[in-house]
Structure 1
């Protein structure tokens, strides 16, 4: 859940890199939308910022959802992960659409990692449907719908965090 936007630890850097191109990310978001289409309809989407902004926009377009809100959670700076802090909650008008518990609302994020952010947002909207593009084992139980599971030691390099450059082969 955007847990991976901070500078990776030495352990994470030693993990498995998983670069994702814009094309691949868009395909994965569309695949997520196909699954969500069978679960909805949804009154609104809540993107967990910042990682959930891009997939939420794609899902909203594909499902024809016009109401998009954000929940803004910070748990890190560029060097370390700390306590979760809600910087912005769900708008009262959007919360009303979900009856205050989130029923009929769709929460979207790019990734569920440890599940810390997911647990916090689930407490806010326990009946919302929670969808991520990618899921790691520790966070996977919190998610209702996802597309790709990756190992806990995988470091996903999202297209908005990378630049085109030479990549050495796995085995030189």
Structure 2
């Protein structure tokens, strides 16, 4: 039996902005937060939107490579650690720090960052079932077999109808 074709979930810039603002709205009740740590690269855009909406000025990044061919997740590689000054905030274990990413998929990246900041509040715009338990706040859950096409990964192109065999 052939494995199912992944479902395509293209997200426009407008939709992503609305979803990231919805995330900020939900997070406003969970703060206050002293800093944001965004997981690059996907967390950069939602972190900027959330930082604006919640008036957070301290923004840090943790750089982790996991998707190496845009389709499959490989081994994780921490390319840049969280700055010691940000790690030292609150209780020194992430209290008062908001971690932002675009998506939690398998949870492998989230697990690595959770180990770095175990008391941080972890938020993503989208969540898949395998990674969802590692996230405190998210906006939209999609099935594990869904591939989200983010606006920064897309150009305008024709999409065949689903009935004609398109992936979704």
After TM superposition, the score normalised by the length of structure 2 is 0.92
Matches within 5 A, 1:43-58: 43-58=34-49
Q: Deviations over 1:92-149 (max 9, x none)?
A: 1111113320000000000000000000000000000000000000000000000000
For 1:88 and 1:97, the matched residues in 2 are separated by 18
Give the SS at the match of 1:156: strand
CA distance, structure 2, for counterparts of residue 168 and residue 16 of structure 1: 13
Question: Hey, what does 1:152 align to over in structure 2?
Answer: 144
Find the aligned partners of 2:105 and 2:68 in 1 and give their Cα distance.
Answer: 16
- Match status 1:26 vs 2:24: no
Q: Stretches of 4+ moved more than 3 A in 1?
A: none
Q: Aligned-pair RMSD on alpha carbons? A: 1.6
Aligned residue pairs total 162
**Is 2:42 the counterpart of 1:59?**
no
Is the alpha carbon distance of 1:111 and 1:80 closer, same or farther for their aligned partners in structure 2, counting shifts above 3 Å? closer
Gaps of 5+ in 1: 1-9
Alignment partner for residue 154 of structure 2, among 142, 162, 165? 162
